[in-house]
């Protein structure tokens, strides 16, 4: 009988030891996790413990919900859930996972945007990286008090957002993000750039507006300072810019390959054929290199330019209208030969 009881005691200790070891492994070991790679967990504002647990399970981040709840309850995590984006490496223990979530030790996102044509597109691109949706972002950008506080107009506010890569928290609010862009904008506009703008007789927003036109005209960095010089020369003598990209913007037809004479009659302040000077604001979001091309233009007497007939993306430049017409005729013939009529 004693041997039997002793056997039962040993068995109970063994079972208890196994259970204890298994529990320890679930809490402190990597066995409850996936095998390879890292996963990302998003916890929105207002989420409760059950929602966090559901996200962890749906994302394949944990296997044992009971172990998660057990650790979370003992650490009081349910009472201090912090929203954010959390990168969870493979092999992280349940204990370390709950500690990370409980501390709010979220991981940043990297917002990158280039080739932006308008504010709705910008808002959509930015919102794809953060918790806020595109409408919230757009409303914050166009808030009259924000526009006025930052020294812009509704037409020029787009120039605040310099194409680049920015590291922010997923939970950043649209207002906080705008202030972040404002700091980057101020940092970009160094005293040297401000002095160059003053020398040209242009404000920062006017530089960005002209840069947006130059950017729309060419993707060739070597041509940008020369194209900038053409438009600056025209502004200097009061000649209309006659920039086809501004017509496309006014017409809302960005895909046009050819601008027709009828297009030049569109009633819009962005029609630089019928209005002298710069349009009310940028027609796209200019990249820093095009802003610098305007601030550091080539020193030329050019008043005209036209895309080359080889359709290479480069331009032919001229000082006289007669030579410009020759260049334009060659380009139009090249388009006709390729069947490009619109």
Q: How confident is the model at residue 264 (pLDDT cuts 50, 70, 90)?
A: confident
Distances in Å between the Cα of 89 and the Cα atoms of 56, 75, 103, 159 are 13, 21, 16, 38
pLDDT of residue 262: 81
pLDDT of residue 96: 93
| Every domain range in the chain assigned CATH 3.30.1490.480 | 26-103
How many other CB atoms sit within 10 Å of the CB of residue 165? Answer: 9
pLDDT tens-place string over residues 177-200: 999 999 999 999 999 999 999 999
Q: How confident is the model at residue 1 (pLDDT cuts 50, 70, 90)?
A: low
Report which of 280, 340, 337 is spatially closest to residue 153, judged by C-alpha positions: 280
Q: Span 71-89, mean pLDDT? A: 95
Q: How confident is the model at residue 25 (pLDDT cuts 50, 70, 90)?
A: very low
pLDDT of residue 253: 79
Report which of 134, 112, 128, 138 is spatially closest to residue 170, judged by C-alpha positions: 128
Where do we find the tokens 């493979």? 90
Six-digit token pair at 5?
């009881």
- Which CATH number fits the domain 26-103, given the four candidates 3.40.50.720, 2.40.170.20, 3.30.1490.480, 3.40.1350.10? 3.30.1490.480
Report pTM.
0.85
Query: Which stretch of 6-20, 82-96, 131-145 has the lowest confidence by average pLDDT?
Result: 6-20
pLDDT tens-place string over residues 98-120: 999 999 999 999 999 999 999 99
Of 10 and 49, more confident:
49
Q: Round to whole Å and give the CA distance between 150 and 125.
A: 22
Percent of the chain with pLDDT over 70: 88
Strands (DSSP E) found in the chain:
39-43, 84-88, 109-112, 165-168, 304-307, 315-318
CA torsion, points 63, 65, 71, 77, in degrees to nearest 10? Answer: 120
Six-digit token pair at 100?
């990370």
Query: Which stretch of 140-154, 252-266, 278-292 has the lowest confidence by average pLDDT?
Result: 252-266
Where do we find the tokens 């787009």? 158
- Regarding beta strands 84-88 and 39-43, do their DSSP bridges make them parallel or antiparallel, or are they unpaired? antiparallel
Percent of the chain with pLDDT over 90: 74
Of 6 and 118, more confident:
118
pLDDT of residue 206: 98
Report which of 172, 203, 200, 204 is spatially closest to residue 188, judged by C-alpha positions: 204
pLDDT of residue 337: 84
pLDDT tens-place string over residues 282-297: 999 999 999 999 999 9
Dihedral sign of CA atoms 332, 335, 336, 342 in order: negative
């Amino acid at each position: 009988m004693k041997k039997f009881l002793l056997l039962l005691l040993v068995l109970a200790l063994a079972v208890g030891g196994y259970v204890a070891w298994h529990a320890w492994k679930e809490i402190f070991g990597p066995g409850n996790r996936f095998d390879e790679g890292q996963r990302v967990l998003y916890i929105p504002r207002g989420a409760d413990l059950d929602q966090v647990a559901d996200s962890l399970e749906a994302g394949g981040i944990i296997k044992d919900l009971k172990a998660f709840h057990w650790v979370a309850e003992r650490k009081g995590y349910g009472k201090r859930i912090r929203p954010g984006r959390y990168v969870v490496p493979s092999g992280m223990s349940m204990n370390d996972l709950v500690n990370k979530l409980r501390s709010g030790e979220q991981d940043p996102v990297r917002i990158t945007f280039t080739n932006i044509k308008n504010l709705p597109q910008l808002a959509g691109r930015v919102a794809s990286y953060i918790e806020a949706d595109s409408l919230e972002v757009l409303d914050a950008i166009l808030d009259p008090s924000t526009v006025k506080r930052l020294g812009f107009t509704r037409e020029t506010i787009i120039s605040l957002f310099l194409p680049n890569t920015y590291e922010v928290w997923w939970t950043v609010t649209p207002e906080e993000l705008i202030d972040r862009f404002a700091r980057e904008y101020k940092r970009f506009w160094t005293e040297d750039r401000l002095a160059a703008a003053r020398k040209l007789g242009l404000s920062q927003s006017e530089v960005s507006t002209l840069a947006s036109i130059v950017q729309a005209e060419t993707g060739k960095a070597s041509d940008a300072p020369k194209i900038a010089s053409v438009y600056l020369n025209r502004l200097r003598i009061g000649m209309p810019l006659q920039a086809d990209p501004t017509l496309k913007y006014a017409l809302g037809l960005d895909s046009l390959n050819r601008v027709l004479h009828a297009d030049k009659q569109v009633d819009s302040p962005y029609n630089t054929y019928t209005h002298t000077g710069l349009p009310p604001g940028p027609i796209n979001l200019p990249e820093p290199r095009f802003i610098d091309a305007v601030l550091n233009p080539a020193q030329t007497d050019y008043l005209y330019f036209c895309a080359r007939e080889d359709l290479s993306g480069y331009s032919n430049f001229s000082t006289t209208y007669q030579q410009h017409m020759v260049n334009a005729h060659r380009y139009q013939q090249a388009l006709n030969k390729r069947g490009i009529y619109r």
